[in-house]
Amino acid sequence: ALFTVGDYLAERLAQIGIRHHFIVPGDYNLILLDKLEAHPALTEVGCTNELNCSLAAEGYARACGVGVCVVTYSVGAFSAFNGIGSAYAENLPVILVSGAPNTNDVDQHLLHHTLGEHDFIYQLEMAKRITCCAVAIRRASHAPELIDRAIRTALLKRKPVYIEVPTNLSGEACAQPGPISAVVKPFPSDAPALDAAVTGASEFLRSKQKPVILVGPKVRRVGAEKALLQLVEAIGCAVVLQPAAKGSFPEDHAQFAGIFWGQVSTLAADTIVNWSDVLVCIGTVFTDYSTVGWTALPSVPQLVADIDNVALPNPNMYFSHVQLQDFLVRLSEAVSWNSCTMTEYNRLRPDPALGQASGGQERLTRKEVARQTQLLLTPETTVFTETGDSWFNGIQLCLPPGAEFEIEMQWGHIGWTIPASFGYALAKPERRTILMTGDGAFQMTAQEVSQMVRCRIPIIILLINNRGYTIEVEIHDGLYNRIQNWNYALLVEAFNSEEGGGRALGLKAHTAEQISEALKRAIAHKDGPTLIECSIHQDDCSRELITWGHFVAAANSRVPAKDK
């Protein structure tokens, strides 16, 4: 049989470990979808819309390192761009493949789904702004180089890429691909830079008394968790995590000192950071949200190790082309033991707060939902927490060893947990995936629960219904923060079709006893998702959200600088 452009793409996707490709069909991508479906290692997963399709690929990439979504031109790609924005912001290699007009029509005719002008490069130009590599195949003979270039760039940069395939090229003859090593082989660190960075860093740290390691979200994105653990145990100092890094370091480890999030930190993380005289920042990201409206920017010298570079504060030096993994391993062999901040932390360590169980018949509270969620966690659990008060409830959870945690703090698209957890759970069916989401968020992407039914995925959705956009209420309130209340439990059961297949279970919980019952039923429900609508009072939000919201509102309302 003829080996085609579509076969080339399918083979490369399979070779980098893709087993599910997320799609929404359209007449610009149907032939391409045939080729992908024909590949024995690939399973096509239809999504209800292209926003959910791209977010499902983003969640899939969290589980197995890379994801792919295939959409139609313009009407499809424009919605998918939002999920690609998330992949870019979250450092995830998602491959966006878009069908495109027949090459004979380009610059000749007006076509459906386009802007209705003789312009066929606007989508490629838009894609260039939100990816690390965007290519448009115009001739079948160019396909191998363009496809390999895009995939290689995605994997090396840990960023999304864009591949545009005209509808009449997918079935055209194409060369067969050479060894995949040419595409996936990583760049090694530059040896002199690595040596100098390690020497400089270990000498600098010997000049300090109270080091603390601050772990950021990028460590996981380059698979450097083991190297991090090696460095942590070579120094012996206190280790704190940024909120978006939760799940990157074991919370039962003796050196774990909490989530550092300024005034809404957990345990005594902010105290030990304030006591330190140097922060070893590994894969960190400091934004308005992660610094509580800039009130928690570190005030001590920082030694910064990023994805592929290292910066020392004194002497003030920068080392490029140093892979994080290599730097951490080499530094762990050169650094001196200094457990001073761990000794101090053990004096400060707060006693574990025993959550008080509320009475069975009492009105359900946010605290009770959080307490019962904590009881659910096992080494096989993965918790997805949504932008909203769920962030703060999730960050407070104590992860047992092996439990995983996913959060989208940089992009912060409410509704992300539904499609992203669906994509994630397809890649890791052996794990028990639990979502903590809000009523506002759920209304953004609720349709994707239908795919959890179709694929029989037993995700547990804890929907905290506080009647509106409470994060926004705590930042700055107005009528716009009110939303139409749905019968959420009834809605998910609408996705069950009479012809059998998977089943969604919709439950409501207004009291502590009801959520306890609902969780038992959710754990037992295996052939589809369970949504538990946890109805709490509109003003029942976390202490941390109120504090955090106060400072974020202050940061948002700074008046323009005089000279601007």
Ligand X SMILES: C/C(NCc1cnc(C)nc1N)=C(/S)[C@H](O)COP(=O)(O)OP(=O)(O)O
Strands 316-320 and 309-313: antiparallel
177 binds, among ligand X, Mg ion, none (CB under 5 to 8 A by kind): none
Q: Residue of minimal CB distance from Mg ion? A: 438
Alpha carbon distance 340, 348 (integer Å):
13
Query: Which phi and psi (to 5°) does residue 34 adopt?
Result: -60, -45
What 3-state class would DSSP assign to 362? Answer: coil
Q: How far is the CB of 420 from ligand X (least distance, A)?
A: 13
The number of beta carbons lying within 10 Å of the beta carbon of residue 549 is 23
Is the distance from CB of 418 to CB of 437 less than 8 angstroms?
yes
Q: Contacts for 39-42 with beta carbons within 8 Å, 24 or more apart?
A: 39/7, 39/10, 39/11, 39/13, 39/14, 41/14, 42/10, 42/13, 42/14, 42/18
Alpha carbon distance 16, 528 (integer Å):
29
Residues of span 425-454 touching Mg ion by CB under 5 A: 438-440
441 binds, among Mg ion, ligand X, none (CB under 5 to 8 A by kind): ligand X
* Candidate ranges 68-76, 80-88, 464-472, 549-557; the one touching Mg ion (CB under 5 A): 464-472
Q: How far is the CB of 473 from Mg ion (least distance, A)?
A: 9
In order, the DSSP letters of 53-79 are HHHHHHHHHHHHS-EEEEE-TTTTHHH
* Candidate ranges 153-161, 221-229, 231-239, 468-476; the one touching ligand X (CB under 6 A): 468-476
By CB under 6 A, residue 549 contacts ligand X: no
What 3-state class would DSSP assign to 422? Answer: helix
Q: How far is the CB of 440 from ligand X (least distance, A)?
A: 3
By CB under 6 A, residue 367 contacts ligand X: no
Count residues binding ligand X (CB under 6 A). 17
Residue at token pair 């008080």: 356
What 3-state class would DSSP assign to 338? Answer: coil
Q: How far is the CB of 341 from ligand X (least distance, A)?
A: 34
493 binds, among ligand X, Mg ion, none (CB under 5 to 8 A by kind): none
By CB under 6 A, residue 89 contacts ligand X: no
By CB under 6 A, residue 100 contacts ligand X: no
What 3-state class would DSSP assign to 330? Answer: helix
131 binds, among Mg ion, ligand X, none (CB under 5 to 8 A by kind): none
By CB under 5 A, residue 50 contacts Mg ion: no
Residue at token pair 């994805």: 307
249 binds, among ligand X, Mg ion, none (CB under 5 to 8 A by kind): none
By CB under 6 A, residue 439 contacts ligand X: yes
59 binds, among ligand X, Mg ion, none (CB under 5 to 8 A by kind): none
Residue from 388, 394, 458, 506 binding ligand X (CB under 6 A): 388
The answer to whether the peptide bond before residue 401 is cis (omega within 30 degrees of 0) is no
Residues of span 168-227 touching ligand X by CB under 6 A: none
Residue from 105, 203, 472, 540 binding ligand X (CB under 6 A): 472
By CB under 5 A, residue 466 contacts Mg ion: yes
Which residues contribute to the site for ligand X (CB under 6 A)? 387-390, 412-414, 438-441, 444, 466, 469-472
